[in-house]
Chain A
């Protein structure tokens, strides 16, 4: 399946600080009562963005200054908890095209990659420094470069880590594996026959 090659994400960033930000926080379970992913964007981080009466709480994602940001900055173990793909789907529909965090929970990471959303790991100090710059200048142009393995802003840069398999899948436009999995049908059939003999 020829998909867009995700090599570079350029745009503006917003910092949602915190460690262990879980997928229930990214998309509360009650919004998963749906049979399609459409419309999930407005519910991203809903309970930390909205009061029970629907009015806004103070939250970076409600801040006019960061409106339109497409790069999300966060802390360690981002996306932990439930395996719900609704979480990356909600982030994507909210407008995010890349996440930079100190570390990612694995299922979330895999779900993002399969949707063509790069998850880049960066050092705590680098994320904090970038967040400070973004706070100073919300319109700061930030570029996540997967081929270079770096984030660029103004005259600065820092290193990011994207595991080889994810980087390969994203930069070659093969982040959705379905075509390749289907191609190997004969090998799958053979494997099933082989295992049936054992059990």
Chain B
């Protein structure tokens, strides 16, 4: 009987069975950042332990870095204390650190792949729920809490129970103006924010075969919003092509050996899945969220649900709560909803291809007068590459601010926050209450091009109409 990639990687990385029945799993690569690691290093010190395999831990700073003024010390004393702590911990424990001066700093889930650290068939963990991003390379990658960060620092392993595997096939052709972001928002809408509980999602089908690595990353990134702790795409020629020649990729003879191993780790043709979901690509519309959970999503040309449309009492309460918070009216079109802020960036959609795609259509257009629009590259490397292509210029000419690399307004732990009940058209991954830094701030998730359409028109808009894409 064939095996899934998940099973193969799980088996090859199992070190022992623990007394409670969980598996002690070897973690090949540990990524850390300033928010969820300081307490873990504190615990190590309390226990008198060192980092067991420091060459397997890679640090960067992303959540709290300002995107405008980036000189240390930061004006926010709490943020400054955090970066100082990471500076100190990286040095003291001897882990590789892509700091602000390295030219390689960025969102941890952008940095790993672009450095070639993220590789097929490996296990990757990070104290951040969007670690599933790295699954785009056929890695088993998941988010963990700080105590587990400690466990991995101290032992390069963690205690974990295996997951089931749900295969999600998307086949056919995506319509113009429909992007990877729409695919994952659509999947979450169909399966629910808790639908992936207990599963790793294996994404496949002709759409994923055709997707670039960056598109695959966008989808895998939001597995957690669907309740799946990990999500992956089987490695293929595109994966190898992307990794070839990157700083941490294998070189020379090692490369050939690695590619052979990577090929072998993909799910077998006769692999058995715990569940299979089939989606027609033609059915995926440009999708936007309307509520306060990522599964509260609709097509851009649909109406916001009414309370009555809820199928049970809980659902009706949820809809009502979301409508009240979002200040939207059930039954009204989402299109035309006035926005205040537009944000292109995040570990979901802050890569070169995201900015490149927007720039293609933004040229010659202007951001509406009342909209504050910011573009935040996912890494310093993305920033440099975008500048080389003149992409930053297209954004700034249109009225966007082009910023330095970081998580920025996705979770607003830096100064980039919504104010009051501002509504943000955002290419990020979460529309939770207060997510973007204001307790009453409102978020509508969408693809980067849809954010651009909203920025230009000043309201939620259909990018296909705004940018004359043939539907």
Contact = CB atoms under 8 A, between A and B. Distances in A.
A195 B12 contact: yes
Interface residues of B, number: 82
Given A18-B321, A199-B261, A85 B146 contact: yes
Contacts of A187: 15-16, 24
A110 B194 contact: no
A145 to B, nearest CB: 19
B88 to A, nearest CB: 10
Interface stretch (B155-163, B206-214, B269-277, B301-309): B155-163
Interface of B: 12-13, 15-16, 18-22, 24, 26, 28, 35-36, 38-39, 42, 47, 49, 52-53, 63-64, 76, 78-79, 81-82, 85, 119, 121-122, 127-129, 131, 142-148, 150-151, 154-161, 193-194, 197-198, 224-225, 227, 229, 250, 257-258, 261, 293, 295, 314, 317-318, 321, 411-413, 430, 432-435, 437, 439-440
B435 to A, nearest CB: 5
A124 B317 CA distance: 15
Contacts of B229: 106-107
Contact of A84 (B145, B150, B432): B145
Given A25-B434, A36-B42, A199 B194 contact: no
A32 B413 contact: yes
Interface stretch (A3-11, A59-67, A147-155, A175-183): A175-183
Nearest to B76: A33
Contacts of B121: 199
A188 B143 contact: no
B435 A103 contact: no
A77 B151 contact: no
The size bracket of the interface on A is: 35 or more
Of listed B49, B122, B293, B440, residue having the most chain A CB within 10 A: B293
A7 B416 CA distance: 45
A82 to B, nearest CB: 5
B430 A81 contact: yes
Nearest to A190: B15
A127 to B, nearest CB: 11
Contact of A81 (B12, B257, B432): B432
A190 to B, nearest CB: 8
Contacts of B47: 178
Given A85-B145, A174-B19, A181-B24, A24 B194 contact: no
Interface string A81-106: 11111101000000000000001011
A36 B38 contact: yes
A198 interface: yes
B314 A180 contact: no
Nearest to A80: B193
Contacts of B38: 34-36
Nearest to A22: B432
Given A33-B82, A35-B82, A76-B194, A83 B128 contact: yes
A77 B39 CA distance: 26
Contact of B157 (A81, A103, A115, A181): A181
Interface in A164-199: 164-166, 168-169, 172, 174, 176-178, 180-182, 184-185, 187-188, 191-192, 195, 198-199
Interface in A98-132: 103, 105-107, 110-111, 114-115, 124
Contacts of B258: 199
Given A36-B39, A76-B314, A83-B129, A168 B19 contact: yes
B144 A83 contact: yes
Nearest to A47: B439
A28 interface: yes
A189 B432 CA distance: 42
A198 to B, nearest CB: 5
Given A35-B42, A192-B156, A180 B19 contact: yes
Nearest to B144: A83
Of listed A88, A105, A166, residue having the most chain B CB within 10 A: A105
B233 to A, nearest CB: 19
B409 to A, nearest CB: 11
Contacts of B78: 33-34
18 contacts: A24-B434, A29-B435, A33-B79, A35-B81, A47-B434, A81-B225, A83-B127, A83-B144, A85-B145, A105-B227, A107-B224, A168-B19, A172-B19, A180-B24, A188-B157, A192-B156, A198-B261, A199-B122
Nearest to B79: A33
Contacts of B412: 29-30
Nearest to B126: A83
A88 B42 CA distance: 18
Contact of B26 (A82, A85, A195): A195
Contacts of A82: 128-129, 143, 411, 430
A187 B42 CA distance: 26
